[in-house]
Amino acid sequence: MNEAIVIPMEHGLLLAGILFLIGLLGVLVRRNIILILMSLEIMLNACGLAFIVAGAHWGVADGQIMFMLILSIAAAEVSVGLGLLLQAHRRFGSLDVDQASRMQG
């Protein structure tokens, strides 16, 4: 009977933190709206991972429920985002956020 390998919570949170940073960097660096939306999705999934890790540490189901909530929120947000993206492509003729930026500031 080998012991179950327990991954410490800190490691899981660290992984989630790295994923979160990758997503954040993507949002900041990318210029294409589709890739920005993808990076946003990575950030939200990093949060979901952090919730699952924390929920597993405490042995409660709350973390997994929050993950499902996050999934549905991300879906809603991205679907509106894709709608806007279609409009943007039609009106600006490109998906580059710099070309879509016309207001000062």
Partner 1 sequence: MITTDLLALLPIITLTGVILVVMMVIAFARNLALTCLCCSIGLALTLAAIAWVSINLEPQYVTPLIVVDEYALLFSSIIVIGAFFICLLAYSYHADRGENQDEYLMLMLLSTLGGIILAHSAHFASFILGLELVGVSLYAMISYPVRGFFSLEAALKYLILSGVSSATLLFGIAFLFAVTGSLSFQGMADATAHMEHASVFVLIGATFVLAGIAFKLSLAPFHMWTPDVYEGAPAPTTAFLATVSKGGIFAVLLRFFVSFDGFRFEAILESLFWVALLSILVGNILALMQDKIKRVLAYSSIAHIGYLLVGFLAASAVGGKQLAIEASMFFLIAYFVTTIGAFGVVTIMSGSTESEHDTDQLSQYEGLFWRRPLLATFFSAMLLSLAGIPLTVGFIGKFYIFAAGVQSGLWQLLAAVVVGSGIGLYYYLRIIFSMTKQPVSEDEIDIPLAGGWALGMVSVLLVVLGVYPTPVVEWVTSVARALT
Q: Which residues bind partner 1 (CB under 8 A)?
A: 9, 13, 16-17, 20, 23-24, 27, 33, 36-37, 40, 43-44, 46-47, 50-51, 53-55, 57-58, 60, 62-63, 65-66, 69-70, 73, 76-77, 80-81, 84, 87-88, 91-92, 97, 100-103, 105
Give the nearest distance from C-beta 3 to partner 1 in angstroms: 24
- 96 forms beta bridges with 32
Give the nearest distance from C-beta 43 to partner 1 in angstroms: 4
Give the nearest distance from C-beta 55 to partner 1 in angstroms: 8
- Residue 32: count other Cβ atoms within 10 Å of its Cβ: 13
Nearer to partner 1, 3 or 98 (CB): 98
Token pair listed for 35: 């890739």
Cβ atoms of 55 and 64 within 8 Å: the answer is yes
